[in-house]
Amino acid sequence: MKKEMKLVEDYQKDLTLIGQANALLSWDEETYMPEKGVESRSEQTALLSGIAHDKVISNELFNALRKLRISKDLKGKEKLMVDKLYKDVVKARKVPKEFVKEFSKTVALAGPKWREARRKKDFKIFAPHLQKIVELSKKQIGYNRLPGHPYNSLLDDYEEGMTAEKLKPVFADLKKELVSLLKKIEGSEKYKKQKLVLMKKEFDGKILEGFVYDVCERMGLKKEFSRVDLTEHPFTTKIGVGDVRITTNYRENPMFAFLSTVHEAGHALYELGLPKKDEYNVLGDAPSLGIHESQSRFWENMIARGKPFWKYYYPRFKKNFKLSGDFDEWYKEVNFVHPDKIRVEADEVHYCLHIILRFEIELGLIEGSIKVKDLPKIWNSKMKELFGVVPKDDVEGCLQDVHWSMGSFGYFPTYAIGTIYSAQLYSQLIKEHPHIEEQIGKGKFDKIREWLNENVHKHGSYYLADDIIKKVCGEGLNPKVYVDYLNEKYGKIYGFD
Ligand SMILES: [Zn+2]
């Protein structure tokens, strides 16, 4: 079996390296590539993706995996690795090559149409492309049908082991709790009088950039193995074991760049903390997007929207940006609750409602109970129901996210799953280290990073995401911990606790 194992390992190494080369090409495309480079760039990435796909579905790899699986001497790590890779391979082999081509062609055409529709504020331009993507997604489900709801096959690509059946009650509960918390917030005197003052000041870009670098450094994202660059939408990408890159974007609200950098740095720390010994095999990856997001949300929400964090940073912000407000005012503005129509700019209380809205729509599109042409109408009525506001156009509404144009159905729930996990992790951290907030108040985050590393990062894909959370917190996905955290925090801020 030695020969087969070597072959399987070699394949995984090649696949990892091709993936990293592709990641570098995409990173360059988003950051520095001149506009006219787009045509050859798309050919380059398509070529690499094609080579990778051929490797994944090759008979040589498939046969080696099959031999290994029937042999009795496979155990421990090797067994885990072979089983995991086998699952991926079987999945990929069931999808016909013509479908893969058709899907990528459809998505390649849909992207520019989505952007044009946004520019012209006209959903109709994008609708036929989305229609095609929905049809192809349904077809895709047929190739790898999982038990239960058809949506499960899509969800499983991003959140292995999670199902619509498990998520529906979790989200239904969460929705009820969030709506009731919002009622309390909106009914409070403080809410009625609230206004952004400090955030409206002019924030010097150079100084803000200094803080962005400072927070990355303090979190442990050193320059020797990372970079921060500028893109329209912030993201994190791993180019190699000692090379993880993040991007940021400076917008009108100064907190956007700062908090989104903390968010991406959380993703980057996770990538850097994954087991080095599994650098070139499937166990060295994150087991799901939800757990990846739990790391970014942890730093963004639990740390960087928290009081202890601003105990350290606010005096420095105050001095450098010459702000005149006191700490409580600043803290309240950082946690300003208001019904923003844009998901990526949402506060902690509204955020998951944005996700639930998208989850319900995705289920409807896949079940066939929602038609693509009715999307703007349905989106707006759900916004009205959940947020009490209606987007002024589709750019603020159903055209705001890039995911559907990329064919990524089943992706959105991972944001809410990660958000819930992040609260569970923080609650556990406090139990184990009751004085950690004193450290945070001094701008020291090493202990936290080490704790996340020990409890989450180093497990790679040795366990499913929910099992990692169970190991650390004693239970899997539990929205109650998140809801309790929100109630306590916002009860204090809005004065109804
Ligand atoms: Zn993220």
Q: By CB neighbour count within 10 A (0-12 exposed, 13-18 middle, 19+ buried), where does 193 fall?
A: exposed
Q: Is residue 369 part of a domain?
A: yes
Q: Cα separation of 245 and 27, whole Å?
A: 8
Together in a domain, 116 and 227? no
Together in a domain, 62 and 205? no
Q: DSSP state, 392?
A: S
Last residue of a domain, one of 89, 116, 144: 144
Q: Cα separation of 449 and 452, whole Å?
A: 5
Q: Is residue 154 part of a domain?
A: no
Q: 3-class DSSP state for residue 239?
A: strand
Residue 154 near residue 136, CB atoms below 8 Å: no
Together in a domain, 136 and 181? no
Which residues partner with 479 through β-bridges?
A: none
Amino acid 73: pLDDT: 81
Amino acid 99: pLDDT: 94
Residue 68 near residue 74, CB atoms below 8 Å: yes
CA dihedral sign, ordered 441, 454, 418, 173:
negative
Q: How far is the CA of 315 from the centre of ligand 1 (A)?
A: 28
Q: Is residue 152 part of a domain?
A: no
Together in a domain, 213 and 358? yes
Together in a domain, 217 and 317? yes
Last residue of a domain, one of 115, 144, 173: 144
Does the active-site annotation cover 264?
A: yes
Structurally, the chain folds into a number of domains equal to 2
Amino acid 159: pLDDT: 97
Give the domain CATH number at 457. Answer: 1.10.1370.30
> What angle, rounded to 10 degrees, do the helices at 254-273 and 446-455 form?
50
Among the options 4, 159, 264, 300, which is catalytic? 264
Can you read off the two tokens belonging to residue 434? 């009751």
Amino acid 233: pLDDT: 87
Together in a domain, 65 and 99? yes
**Domain interval for residue 87:** 2-144
Q: How far is the CA of 355 from the centre of ligand 1 (A)?
A: 13
- Give me the residues near ligand 1 (ion), CB cutoff below 5 Å: 296
For the chain, report the end-to-end CA distance as a whole number of angstroms.
63
Closest by CA position to 283, among listed 82, 422, 96 = 82
Q: How far is the CA of 181 from the centre of ligand 1 (A)?
A: 25
Q: Cα separation of 156 and 94, whole Å?
A: 15
Q: Is residue 270 part of a domain?
A: yes
Together in a domain, 473 and 411? yes
Other Cβ atoms closer than 10 A to 157: 16
Together in a domain, 370 and 279? yes
Q: Is residue 159 part of a domain?
A: no
Q: Is residue 284 part of a domain?
A: yes
Amino acid 39: pLDDT: 85
Last residue of a domain, one of 144, 174, 189: 144
Q: Is residue 103 part of a domain?
A: yes
Q: How far is the CA of 299 from the centre of ligand 1 (A)?
A: 11
Q: Is residue 197 part of a domain?
A: yes
Amino acid at residue number 226: S
Together in a domain, 460 and 332? yes
Residue 247 near residue 254, CB atoms below 8 Å: no
Amino acid 104: pLDDT: 87
Give pLDDT < 50 ranges for the chain: none
Cα dihedral 475/307/218/211 (nearest 10): 130
Together in a domain, 28 and 117? yes
Contacts of 14 (CB under 8 A, 6+ apart): 55
Residue 80 near residue 87, CB atoms below 8 Å: no
To the nearest 5 percent, what fractions of the chain are helix, strand and coil? 70, 5, 25
Together in a domain, 134 and 19? yes
Can you read off the two tokens belonging to residue 295? 């790391």
Q: How far is the CA of 289 from the centre of ligand 1 (A)?
A: 9
Together in a domain, 219 and 302? yes
Closest by CA position to 212, among listed 99, 331, 304, 87 = 304
- Encode pLDDT of 407-416 as tens digits: 999 999 999 9
Closest by CA position to 386, among listed 418, 348, 341, 347 = 341
Q: Cα separation of 90 and 101, whole Å?
A: 18
Q: How far is the CA of 419 from the centre of ligand 1 (A)?
A: 10
